Amino acid sequence: MYQTTYHRASSVDEAVSLFAKGTESKFLAGGQTLLPVMKQRLASPSDVIDLGKIKELQGVELSGDVLTIKAGTTYFDIMQNADVKKAIPAIAHLTSVLGDPAVRYRGTIGGSIANNDPAADYPAALLALGATVKTNKRSIAAEDFFQGLFTTALEDGEIITAVSFPVPEKAGYEKMRHPASRFALTGVFVAKTKSGEVRVAATGASQSGVMRVPAIEAALKANWSPSAIDSVTISASNLLADIHGTAEYRANLVKVMAQRAVAAAG
CB of 106 to another protein, least distance (A): 17
Rule CB under 8 A: choose which of 13, 61, 100, 197 binds another protein: 100
Q: Would you call 222 exposed, middle or buried from its count of C-beta atoms within 10 A (0-12, 13-18, 19+)?
A: exposed
CB of 193 to another protein, least distance (A): 27
- Separation of alpha carbons 43 and 236, rounded Å: 33
Who contacts 214 (Cβ-Cβ below 8 Å, separation ≥6)? none
The Cα angle at residue 109 between residues 105 and 114, in degrees rounded to 5: 125
Write out the binding residues for another protein, residues 176-235 only, by CB under 8 A: 176, 179-181, 185
Site string for another protein, 231-260 (x = CB under 8 A): ------------xxxx-xx--xx--x--x-
Specify the residue, 163 or 185, whose C-beta has the smaller distance to another protein: 185
Specify the residue, 1 or 20, whose C-beta has the smaller distance to another protein: 1
Specify the residue, 9 or 228, whose C-beta has the smaller distance to another protein: 228
By DSSP bridging, strand 47-50 and strand 25-28 are parallel
In this structure, how many other beta carbons lie within 10 angstroms of the beta carbon of residue 156? 7
Residues contributing to the site for another protein (CB under 8 A): 1-2, 40-41, 100, 176, 179-181, 185, 243-246, 248-249, 252-253, 256, 259
